[in-house]
Every structure is written in structure tokens, then in C-alpha cells.
Structure 1
């Protein structure tokens, strides 16, 4: 190669490198200039940017629980001078969520807050958002850790799973066959809780309890109703059902409340007081648990606003200032925990309205 060609080749290489580096991760000013946690250090004293536009993307737009969560998040964003909105699919599928993520990227939202239907299926679209400077917060059901900066967990996953086993064991007297009525087969939170349930059941104190089936209602009311019916009719000696999903537990309770199984088969899980009040009062359900979903959304809204403003990056040890909820430390893998769940029963359920 001639000297002239060598110089020209070197010049072109430098030019190409400079051109490729002109759009850096987290440097898109049109998306609020949010850091993805790798492009610049967080400044805890940075002010919240005015007028932030933050979108909340639930698993399913008609899920009553997630409507409460997202309304709590929208209230937090409004409290901080921004504008929040809830958008999402009418079915609990990852592919439907992906199309919404792509639209939100095109709209140049300042942050996306999502409850993932599948941790990996939504990851490429979320990574695309992050590469364009749009921070991502997950809540309730996590995405792949490298596809978001922060995961706002409603409570410690291990405690949720193990406490569900404790509740059903108390109600069935520590012996008998039980089943689990879950949401979708790929739901990150459900699968994590179920693994801890299975591990808890290996302890000697639960040797009299047998988990015979895990069914999936896909967070759809009618399918959950039918799955509950099928469990009870196909397993005649079933003693209890755990449904760690607000859609599932309310659908199962509705079926059981007018069936011969009422009072004979125990039902517990995760539900809202307003959904479950009538079933507690009529004796269909003894006890169930949940956290305050509005506070979960509120915490996610503050996390998204802080990320979009550069106050936090999602690194372990950082502190999030979360308004009326006080401060929360960011833990391993960007996890922030809201707090322990509350157990609801006939003695306290009327104290709650959500």
C-alpha cells in the first residue's frame, strides 16, 4: 500500500469512529438527557427536571390492581411538576407491550415505567429506549436486569412466597393437597414467588402438605375463573388454593362463593381489600395479603423522575428521595423495596380502601 493510501485509510477510519460515537448512550437531549447509568455519574443534589413526561405501561390496561398502581405513579409525577400517563394492551402479552414501548420511544417520553409480562421478550425494546436516553423503571414484575435501571419491588420476593405458604398452612391445619393459581407462565414475579413457595414446602413443618398443580389464568378474569373451577372439580380432595395474583384470587373467590366448595376449600393469595371484602365477609376467604399498590406506583414514579433528572443512576447504595414515603436505598441489581405486605381478614379489612 502506498503512503498516500495509508494516510487516506487512517483518515477514513478516524472519521468513521467519530461518526459512530456522535450518539452516545444516554445523551439524547430530546429524551430529557437521562443517564442510563453508564454515561455519567448521578448527582443526588440535581433538581427534578420540570415538565417530565413519564409513561406507565402495565401488564394489562384493564387490570384493576395495576390501574391503582399506575394512578399512584401518575400522582407522584404530577407532584413533581411532570405529566404522567397510563398506556397499555388489553391482553397480558409481551408482544403487545413491545409495540407500546416502541411507540413511547417515538414519542420521546422522558421515562418508561413497566410491569413486564415477560422478562426477556420486552428486553430488546427496553434496551433500545435506554440507548436513546429514556430511562426504564420496572415495577411488580421485573424485566431482564440489563434492560432497566431500577426495579421497584413491592416487597421482598422471598418473604412474599414463604408467607403465602404459611397462610395456607394455618388455614388447612398443616395437612392436605394444595394448588397454585398463577398469572402468566412467564411472569417474573409470579415465578419467583412460586419458587420460594416450593422451597418453603420442603421444610419439615410442611411435610403434610402436597403441592399437586400450578395452573395459569393469564391474569384474565374469565380464564382464572375457569381454571379455579377446573382445579376444584379435577382434584376432589383439594384442601387449599394459593393465588398470588389479584385477578386470580378474586375470580377464584367469585366461583367458590356460590359453589359447594365454599368453607371447605381454603383460598388465600394476593388481592386488594376492595376486591375481596365481600368474600371475606361471606366466609369464602379467611385471610389474604397485599401491599398498598398506590404506594408501589408512587415509589416507581419518584424513581423514574429521579432517573430522568440524573439524581440517581440505579447503582447499589444510592439513595432515592421518595416524597411522603421518605428515603429508600437502592439495593443489589438496582432493586428498591416498598415494604412488607399487610395481611387482611375480617378484623381489619374495613380499615382499607383500595
Structure 2
């Protein structure tokens, strides 16, 4: 039975918090349970801060909405959002440093670069903060757990399958990604390339280009234009980023390539609905982004309370989403991807 997702937009107070660093009690970090403790008592005055790749991103807004709700339900006294307006490799470091100085108990971060943030995160951990990566991982040595949307290979395989179906199993395709250093994007692309090279069903599909729109609407739109100019025989585009797929769909919808060049990837139903209904896009995929933020918040609280340490086999309950288990490498999986098309897209609201 299908379930309608209704994800509320971020409040005005969240927007204000995202643009200004909110001071937290500096003494909190000293009372955070150490990594070796388990079964600790709940910390009632704990603070959490979310640091996304960038602010003012529709996908990020949904993730953060779920994160804020999850933080409140999990028992955090204060939940803040800070972060850069542009998704560059080093843009998050100053925000991490400020949270360390503020004594924030838990930092939840979607890394623009897996290594650029590590030194700052190391200082935060030394000061007592628990580090949860979500959406896009850091180097595993730099955090306690990583909350992944789905199994990375499954994300790659569903997108590869969709583009193959939409171009009849043969022809030139391209990938329009986010930033060149984005951990999640690069892992998905690696699996796509491996699948295209090894699966005989895809022997007639040729990946001719990989371009990066930096999760910027205007740049992604320009990259989509550039792909068509550089590859006149292009049959399809995979864009594993919500900004990229929406920008590319907007370009294709008013171009001569509408209905001729297939587009799939990862998108938000509310952004893609009109493009599905007008025939620009046939099918695309995603998970429920709000659940990603919600699970991350519950994991952060379990770490702060000392009920988990991030070790393989640790378990915690993510509210109504149920129990989650920490897998090898500190990995926690949220749920499987969903494919959206004209038959089901109106059942979802996020």
C-alpha cells in the first residue's frame, strides 16, 4: 500500500539559524560520554548541529527538516543548522571550528570533500563532540558513523537500469554529477562504470562524458547544454543529484531534444512532477530524504548518550522508523530507493 509523504518546509527560524552560528554552552562537551561507554543515561541538555553541503538546496531542506524533527524527538535540547552557501571542498571547515569552540555535543555533516574536513573534525572529537556523517561520507577515520541513504551499489544499479530501458539498451550516455569530490556521487559513478563495463546487457551503451554542475542550478543547466553541443549523438543523461536532474529537465523540456534524449537519476518528486507529466522524464529514483536526517539525529543522540559507540553490531532505535544496526565501517543504511513515474508520482509530497 502506498503512503503519501508529507514533509514540511523549514521554518523561518531554521533559515536564520543557518546563516548565523548559534552559541552553545561550552561545558556540554566535557560531560559527553566517552567512546568506550555503553548503556549510558540520556543527556537532557545535549546540543546538535547539522552542517550540510550547502544551504538553500531543495533536497537539503527536506533532509534538514527531517533532521530537526528527529533531533527534537530524540531528546536534543538544541538543534542548529549552519553551513556554506556554495559546496566547495573547504567551505565547511570554519563552521566545524565554530561548533567545536561552542562545545556542541554532536555534529552531523554531509561532506563536500572526504578529507578536507578531517582535521577540523578531529579537533571537534578531541573536544568531546560525536561526529555523524550523512548523505556524503567523510574519511571513515574522521567520524563515528555514516548514515547512508541506501546501499551505494543499489543506487548505481537502479540508475543504470533506468537509462538502459529508456534508450533501448544502446547508444551514448553522459553523467551530470554534483561536485567532483562528492563522496557519494563518486561512489555511485564508480559502480555505474563497473556495471556498464561488465554487464553484457549494457554492451551497446557507451559512457562518453562526465561533467559536474556543483549542485548549482545555473551551472548544471549550462553543463546540460554543453553535453548536447559536444555530443550530438547523445541518447541519455544520468544525473545522480537532485539539483542536476531538475536543471537538466528544465533545459530539455524547452529544447529540440525533448523526447529524444532520455534523462534519469535522483530527483525530488515535487521538483520533477511537471517534467514527468509533460514527457520530458519517464522515470527517476530517490529515497525519502527526510528519513536520512531523522536517522542521523537518532544516531547522534545514541552516541552522545553512550548507548552506542559506532562499533559494528551496535543497535539503536530511530523512533517510528525502527531499529537500525551499525554495519562494517560504521555504516547505517536508511532504506531502499523508490522509482517514480507518472503512475505513482502524485502519491509523494516532498
Please indicate, yes or no, whether the TM-score normalized by the shorter chain is above 0.5: yes
In the alignment, which of 86, 93, 109 is matched to residue 91 of structure 1? 86
Three-state SS of the structure 2 residue aligned to 1:267 is strand
**1:124 partnered with 2:122:** no
Indicate the residue corresponding to 1:22 in structure 2. none
In the alignment, which of 43, 52, 60 is matched to residue 49 of structure 1? 43
Query: Following TM superposition, where does structure 1 have runs of at least 4 consecutive aligned residues deviating by more than 6 angstroms?
Result: none
Counting only pairs closer than 5 Å after superposition, residues 60-79 of structure 1 correspond to structure 2 as: 60-79=54-73
- Alpha-carbon deviation of 1:204? 0.9
- Alpha-carbon deviation of 1:34? 2.9
What is the TM-score with the length of structure 1 in the denominator? 0.89
**1:347 partnered with 2:347:** no
Indicate the residue corresponding to 1:323 in structure 2. 319
**Residues in 2 aligned to 1:171 and 1:48: alpha-carbon distance in whole angstroms:** 51
In the alignment, which of 82, 96, 99 is matched to residue 104 of structure 1? 99
**Residues in 2 aligned to 1:67 and 1:35: alpha-carbon distance in whole angstroms:** 30
**Residues in 2 aligned to 1:94 and 1:324: alpha-carbon distance in whole angstroms:** 35
- CA deviation string 1:194-240 (max 9, x = no partner): 00000110111100000000000011110000001100121111000
Contact 2:265–2:285 at 8 Å: present in 1 too?
Answer: yes
Indicate the residue corresponding to 1:232 in structure 2. 228
Contact 1:94–1:117 at 8 Å: present in 2 too?
Answer: yes
- Alpha-carbon deviation of 1:29? 5.7
In the alignment, which of 196, 201, 206 is matched to residue 205 of structure 1? 201
Contact 2:30–2:127 at 8 Å: present in 1 too?
Answer: no
- Alpha-carbon deviation of 1:49? 1.4
What is the TM-score with the length of structure 2 in the denominator? 0.90
Counting only pairs closer than 5 Å after superposition, residues 157-236 of structure 1 correspond to structure 2 as: 157-202=152-197, 203-236=199-232
Contact 1:59–1:116 at 8 Å: present in 2 too?
Answer: yes
In the alignment, which of 19, 28, 31 is matched to residue 29 of structure 2? 31
Unaligned residue ranges in structure 2 (runs of 5+)? 1-25
**Residues in 2 aligned to 1:277 and 1:84: alpha-carbon distance in whole angstroms:** 32
Contact 1:32–1:134 at 8 Å: present in 2 too?
Answer: no
Contact 1:36–1:135 at 8 Å: present in 2 too?
Answer: no
The two structures, once aligned, show a CA RMSD in angstroms of 1.2
**Residues in 2 aligned to 1:47 and 1:36: alpha-carbon distance in whole angstroms:** 12
Contact 2:303–2:309 at 8 Å: present in 1 too?
Answer: yes
**Residues in 2 aligned to 1:62 and 1:256: alpha-carbon distance in whole angstroms:** 24
**Residues in 1 aligned to 2:340 and 2:71: alpha-carbon distance in whole angstroms:** 29
**Residues in 1 aligned to 2:252 and 2:33: alpha-carbon distance in whole angstroms:** 50
Indicate the residue corresponding to 1:156 in structure 2. 151
| Number of equivalent positions | 323
Distance 1:36 1:71, change over 3 A: farther
Three-state SS of the structure 1 residue aligned to 2:90 is helix
Unaligned residue ranges in structure 1 (runs of 5+)? 1-27
Distance 1:212 1:36, change over 3 A: farther
Contact 1:35–1:313 at 8 Å: present in 2 too?
Answer: no
Indicate the residue corresponding to 1:300 in structure 2. 296
**Residues in 1 aligned to 2:275 and 2:259: alpha-carbon distance in whole angstroms:** 11
**Residues in 2 aligned to 1:187 and 1:179: alpha-carbon distance in whole angstroms:** 18
**Residues in 1 aligned to 2:63 and 2:42: alpha-carbon distance in whole angstroms:** 22
